Structure 1
Amino acid sequence: MRFIRLLFLALLAVVLVAVALANRDIVTLSAFPANFGQYLGGRWSVDMPLFMVIFLAFAVGMLAGLVWEYLREAHIRRQARQRSAEIARLESEVGHLRRNHAAPRDEILAIVDRPKSAPAARPVASAEPAPGTTLPSPR
């Protein structure tokens, strides 16, 4: 991938140098049409090579496009920030709820909340299980 990028940059540099060499004539770039600048005072034109005019026009166009897209997508970035804040708030709330509800429960409430289909644990008189039986699974 790096080789392709370097190849592209080298090709772009060759094209830009070729354009610059082919357009070396000096041109006058005026900011206002037909001597309108004389009413404002000062010199509102500049003499420069044609390739500089081409490159400056390209750079100004790229800058204008960048600003346009930045302003056009401002609402998308604002919405993303709001959703990110909402996600962080909800994740915090879920973590808080998990900490509160995963805490050890009262033994009486555990018995009351046990599903009806689960067999009730029978009290054992001794620490050893009766022959042929198993201990209930731990909770």
Structure 2
Amino acid sequence: MRYIRYACIAVFAIALIGVALANRSIVSLQLVPAEVAGWFAVTPQISLPLYIVIFGGIIMGLFVGFVWEWIREHNQRAEAARQAREMRRLQREVAKLKGEKHHGKDEVLALLDEAG
């Protein structure tokens, strides 16, 4: 199973290297369109290889998706935390009631009563 995983990683790495080699040309990224930049007399732009733009877009998309999913699952995490608190409270209550039930009894009889 480990070799299959390594083979998949190698194929994926070769594909990424192929994409990077095929897209080495320099592109210019502008923060705002040229028409809007003319209004403010500011033209923020940067020149990067195309593969960095492609990989950066993929990474940013993954990041936005992970954050979106984390926010979406907030209700489930809150409910799980509430249930965990309730379970701990009930476990403490059960332990306390077991202790009260056998209070003043012989230890051997209390153990036999719990087992039966």
TM-score with structure 1 length normalisation? 0.69
- Cα distance in structure 1, aligned partners of 2:15 and 2:40: 39
- Cα distance in structure 2, aligned partners of 1:28 and 1:2: 42
- The aligned runs of 1:1-139 (5 Å cut-off) are 1-40=1-40, 42-105=42-105
Bigger mean CA offset, 5-14 vs 89-98: 5-14
Q: Which runs of 5+ in 1 are unaligned?
A: 107-139
- Cα distance in structure 2, aligned partners of 1:35 and 1:47: 19
TM-score with structure 2 length normalisation? 0.82
Identical-residue share of aligned pairs (%): 37
Instruction: Tell me the SS of whatever aligns to 2:103.
Output: coil
Change (3 A) 1:85 1:14: same
RMSD, aligned CA: 1.8
Change (3 A) 1:92 1:13: same
Kindly indicate which of the two structures has a greater share of residues assigned to helix: 2
Change (3 A) 1:40 1:5: farther
- The number of equivalent residue pairs is 106
Q: Which structure would you say has the larger RCO, counting Cα contacts within 8 Å and 6 or more residues apart?
A: 2
Contact 2:31 2:45 in 1 (8 A): yes
Change (3 A) 1:74 1:25: same
- Cα distance in structure 2, aligned partners of 1:96 and 1:3: 53
- Cα distance in structure 2, aligned partners of 1:9 and 1:38: 46
Residue identity in the other structure for 1:37: A
- Cα distance in structure 1, aligned partners of 2:55 and 2:74: 29
Q: Deviations over 1:2-33 (max 9, x none)?
A: 22222221111100000000111111111111
